[in-house]
Amino acid sequence: MDEIRRLDVGDTWLHAVLRGSEDLPPLIVLHGGPGLDHTEFADYLDPLTDTVRLVLLDGRAQGRSDRDVPPATWTLPQMAADVSAAARALGARRYAVFGHSFGAFVALQHAVEQPGEAAATVVCCGLGSARWLDGLPGRLAAFEPPELREQVQASWASEADVETEADFARLMHEQMPWHFADPRDPRIPEYEARVEAAAPRYAPDVLRQFSVAGYGGIEVEDRLDRVTGRLLALAGRHDRTCPPEAGELIAARVQRGEGQIFERSGHMPFVEEPEAFLRVVRDFLRRALA
């Protein structure tokens, strides 16, 4: 059964959903977006509760976390600091961090700026430099099938103007084919239904701010040698947003880095190859937290 916590991180409160035994080390889980919330994962990560206690965190000013926090604090360094503060609020002496997509940016920023605080970090479909996003317009222009291309392009362009949670939800639905290796993957409707059943709370103001500012402008590739904890970089071979080469570079430059590419996945390997994904992540966490 879920345990709901409000975590004091200093200047605001973060909403967290805890799943699994309190006797297991916590895995702080960071969602994508920006502007999404913990429901992005629905119940897809729940099998990991045989190894860790999931701490599904809503990021600063997102989800069910307090929204009354200055936009000037909506930065990758501050969100990375929030991870450490959340761990302290949990009383966690030893913990791991998992981030997907934008959450992977936060997880990597945390590993670089707070080296050694997390025993292990999983960077899933992330990157270490905004330069990897430079090719995004070209990849959007080449997206197949053509009948979905205009829909996806229009959705990306609309992020800078999104006003309501309903509009945000519509953009996510329109973009979803882009995030799968097969844009017509029959699992897309099932995934969307499982997320919807978890009652997501979107933050359009956060998405607007980040969409016009390079999604946080992550730039840590030149500091990856500072990471002292174990790190696993995961990527989908057909990821159109965060190319797998970005993940390979992270794994290569981190002293205790490992990498895994899921050959049949795009940006959503925990949905596209769930069994392989869970096996790889579970094995890494068991070794890193032993």
- What phi, psi does 235 have (nearest 5°)? -150, 155
Point out which residues pair with 92 in neighbouring strands. Answer: none
Closest to 32 measured CA to CA, from 40, 22, 24: 40
* pLDDT value of residue 1: 82
For residue 34, whether the previous peptide bond is cis, meaning omega lies within 30 degrees of 0, is yes
Mean pLDDT score of the chain: 97
* pLDDT value of residue 210: 95
Average pLDDT estimate for 76-101:
98
Q: What is the pLDDT of residues 164-209, one digit of tens each?
A: 999 999 999 999 999 999 999 999 999 999 999 999 999 999 999 9
Q: What is the pLDDT of residues 113-160, one digit of tens each?
A: 999 999 999 999 999 999 999 999 999 999 999 999 999 999 999 999
Q: What is the pTM of this model?
A: 0.98
Closest to 285 measured CA to CA, from 9, 73, 28, 8: 28
